[in-house]
């Protein structure tokens, strides 16, 4: 391990429940990811949820609107990032990643997620072809992912 960073709430200083571990080699990171992802954290009932991170979190995307993501709803409780990604990458070679949204209080799936693509045509095909296809025990509901507003932009209202 090269470094560890726990993300903390700016007001309370309490852990936000996630962090980043930087390794000296990709091989070491891969081994940890394969060994610990899904295993229970010590002294808890919660499993480790590990995935790859990049240093580009603060960077803007190369072109606005270039995020080729789809929304995936109605996911069964047992669907993980890996299961969701495999469901799509088995049909579409340009899948970049998949993320199931987790409730930070319970550690359980919120029943929806997102899949990212490198190819616009495959993304469009996935929206139509994967709607109603089973992932685990339930048919998925597919839609266009709407990008979040940038954090600097907030609607201003006057109270007059």
Q: What is the CATH number of the domain that holds 82?
A: 3.30.70.330
Q: What is the DSSP letter of 43?
A: T
Place of tokens 């606005």: 64
Instruction: Determine the structural domain holding residue 110 and report its residue range.
Output: 69-144
Same domain, 75 and 19: no
- The answer to whether residue 106 sits within a structural domain is yes
Same domain, 75 and 136: yes
Tokens for 38?
């899904």
Same domain, 78 and 44: no
Domain count, the chain: 2
- The answer to whether residue 102 sits within a structural domain is yes
**Residue that wins the pLDDT comparison between 150 and 140:** 140
Rounded to two decimals, the pTM is: 0.56
Same domain, 44 and 84: no
- Residue 125 — pLDDT band, cuts 50, 70, 90? very high
Same domain, 128 and 90: yes
In this prediction, what percent of the chain has a pLDDT beyond 70? 83
CB 142 within 8 A of CB 126: yes
| pLDDT digits 0-9 by tens, 128-137 | 999 999 999 9
Tokens for 4?
């560890």
CB 72 within 8 A of CB 86: no
Same domain, 73 and 122: yes
Same domain, 79 and 51: no
pLDDT at 3 > cutoff 60? yes
- The answer to whether residue 159 sits within a structural domain is no
Place of tokens 């709607």: 131
- The answer to whether residue 38 sits within a structural domain is yes
Same domain, 98 and 138: yes
Same domain, 44 and 14: yes
Backbone angles phi, psi at 113, to 5 degrees: -165, -165
- The answer to whether residue 123 sits within a structural domain is yes
Same domain, 47 and 113: no
């Amino acid at each position: 391990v090269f470094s560890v960073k726990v993300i903390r709430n700016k007001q309370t200083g309490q852990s936000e429940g996630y962090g980043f571990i930087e390794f000296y080699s990709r091989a070491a990171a891969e081994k940890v990811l394969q060994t610990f992802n899904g295993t229970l954290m010590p002294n808890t009932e919660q499993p480790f949820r590990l995935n790859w991170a990049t240093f580009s979190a603060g960077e803007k995307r190369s072109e606005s609107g270039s995020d080729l993501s789809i929304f995936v709803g109605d996911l069964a409780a047992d669907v993980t990032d890996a299961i969701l990604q495999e469901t799509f990458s088995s049909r579409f070679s340009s899948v970049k990643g998949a993320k199931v949204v987790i409730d930070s209080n319970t550690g359980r799936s919120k029943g929806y997620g997102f899949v990212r693509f490198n190819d616009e045509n495959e993304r469009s095909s996935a929206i139509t072809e994967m709607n109603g296809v089973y992932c685990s025990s339930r048919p998925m509901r597919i839609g266009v992912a709407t990008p979040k507003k940038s954090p600097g932009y907030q609607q201003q209202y006057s109270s007059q």
